[in-house]
Amino acid sequence: MFKVRKYILQHYEYEQVIDKIWFSKLEIINEDNVNKKIFIKALTSFANSYIKSNFKHILELAFEAQGFSFELVQYK
C-alpha cells in the first residue's frame, strides 16, 4: 500500500493531507499473489463510499503501476 500511496503523491496533484485522511487509513485485508489482486477496506462506510466515488480510478491506476489490481471491499 505504501508504494501505491507514493505513486499517487508523485503522479497526481494531491497534497499529503488527502493521503493522510483517505489513503493512509485503507486496510489491506487480503493479498492474492496468484491473481495479483489486493483487497482493501476503508474504516467506515462513509469513507468507503467517498473513496469509491472520488478516488477509485486513481487507485486503479496506482495499483496497476505496481502490477496489481484491487478491490475495495464493502464496509460492514
Using CA atoms, how far residue 36 sits from 11, 46, 63, in Å, is: 22, 27, 10
Q: What is the pLDDT of residue 19?
A: 85
CB count within 10 Å of CB 16 equals 11
Whichever domain contains 62, its CATH number is 3.30.300.180
Q: What is the pLDDT of residue 16?
A: 83
Whole-number average pLDDT of the chain: 90
pLDDT cut 70: percent of the chain above it: 97
- For the chain, the residue count is 76
Cell of 34: 496468484
Residue with the three cell numbers 501505491: 4
Q: What is the pLDDT of residue 3?
A: 87
Contact 37/70 with Cβ under 8 angstroms? yes
Give how many domains the chain has, as a whole number: 1
Q: Which domain holds residue 6?
A: 2-72
